[in-house]
Chains A and B, each alone.
Chain A
Amino acid sequence: MEAILTIILIFMILGAIYSLHARDLLSALISMGIVGYGLVICFLLLKAPDLAIVQILVETITLVIMVSVVLDSTRHELKEKASIVHDGQSFINSRYVGNIFIGVLIALVLLYTYHFAIENLSAFGEHLMRMSGPYLEDAAGTTGSANMVTGVVFDYRGYDTLGEATILVTAVVGVLTVLRIQGRK
């Protein structure tokens, strides 16, 4: 189980790294699809079918939208610009060294505070069952649904579901506001 998950994660990382260095924008989008669909296989291996269904549908719709937007923009301009940037640039700049040094310094500070934070957590295999205990006790009898995920999402945690639906409505309102400014004559 762990070996298969590790192999799929390595493929996802390789796909993400390739999409940064691709010469063509369409190739970059398709290699981003590797990350999304690899995540679907990871969800199925970890026994979460609800998440897998939603992830595969949202990934497909997002890829379709992005490809239909990219195919209209001029791909030739992007190819020429990509080939100009990659030659004649000195590798060691002072900005690179400064950025890497600040990054390592902040990582060390965070590691130091992390050492204090994990002292208060419980041991590695034991779970803190304060909220999960009442859920597991009789979820099917109390909520009445045979699917425990639906019972938790819509009954025990219904307020969070309302927040999630509100996020989607806000996203649609934002997209319509931004894209309609030029559409109105």
Chain B
Amino acid sequence: MSVIVKKVAQLLSGLIFMYGVYIITHGHLTPGGGFAGGALLAGSMILLVLAFGSDVMGLKKRETGSSIIENSAILVFILFATIAMLVGTRVFFHNFLPVGTLGELISAGVIPLYNIFVGMEVGAALFTIFLALVIYKEEVLK
């Protein structure tokens, strides 16, 4: 890709990543939530890979990094739900942290934590699917 595309991708991908983090963390106040923010995180990484090519980005033959992030994020999500079963009213997925005042950033109990981990999981999953198609194609062509 030409220099213009590479420079613009470098400048924009950081902004898109921060916008995705904003949508994830404000999921209980504004529209969006974990799934939309996670797709935005994947989008910023995909922009970098498309602009620079996969061998310049230092991607190895296996996509282990994003797989590890995706699986550990869903594991922490299940751990939160199971902890809720051991605390308080013994109900799966119970909201066990204090609810707080409406409209604050730190409120709504355990919902912001659910949003963060679902966002990490969705972003890593979409990026792993994209890498599997890009790296697999290069291996077959060689």
Contacts and interface: CB of A to CB of B under 8 A. Distances in A.
Given A54-B35, A158-B114, A176-B132, A146 B137 contact: no
Interface-centre pick from B36, B71, B92 (highest chain A CB count, 10 A): B36
Q: How large is the interface on B (under 10, 10 to 19, 20 to 34, 35 or more residues)?
A: 35 or more
B74 A144 contact: no
Contact of A151 (B34, B70, B111, B139): B111
A162 B126 CA distance: 17
Interface string A46-64: 0001100110011011001
B128 A176 contact: yes
Interface-centre pick from B28, B30, B109 (highest chain A CB count, 10 A): B28
28 contacts: A50-B33, A53-B39, A61-B46, A68-B50, A69-B137, A140-B102, A143-B99, A144-B99, A145-B29, A145-B111, A147-B28, A147-B29, A147-B31, A153-B33, A154-B33, A154-B34, A154-B115, A158-B81, A162-B77, A162-B78, A165-B121, A165-B122, A168-B122, A168-B125, A169-B71, A175-B132, A180-B132, A183-B140
Contacts of B71: 169
Contacts of B136: 179-180, 182-183
A91 interface: no
Interface of B: 23, 27-36, 39-40, 42-43, 46, 50, 61, 67, 70-71, 74, 77-78, 81, 92-93, 95, 99-100, 102-103, 107-109, 111, 114-115, 118, 121-122, 125-126, 128-130, 132-137, 139-141
Interface of A: 49-50, 53-54, 57-58, 60-61, 64-65, 68-69, 72, 140-147, 149-151, 153-155, 158-159, 161-162, 165-166, 168-169, 171-172, 175-176, 179-180, 182-183
Contacts of B118: 161, 165
Given A141-B102, A147-B29, A183-B139, 20 more contacts: A64-B46, A140-B102, A143-B99, A143-B109, A144-B102, A144-B108, A144-B109, A145-B29, A146-B102, A150-B27, A150-B115, A151-B28, A154-B33, A154-B34, A155-B111, A162-B93, A172-B70, A175-B128, A180-B136, A183-B61
Contacts of B137: 68-69, 72
A141 to B, nearest CB: 8
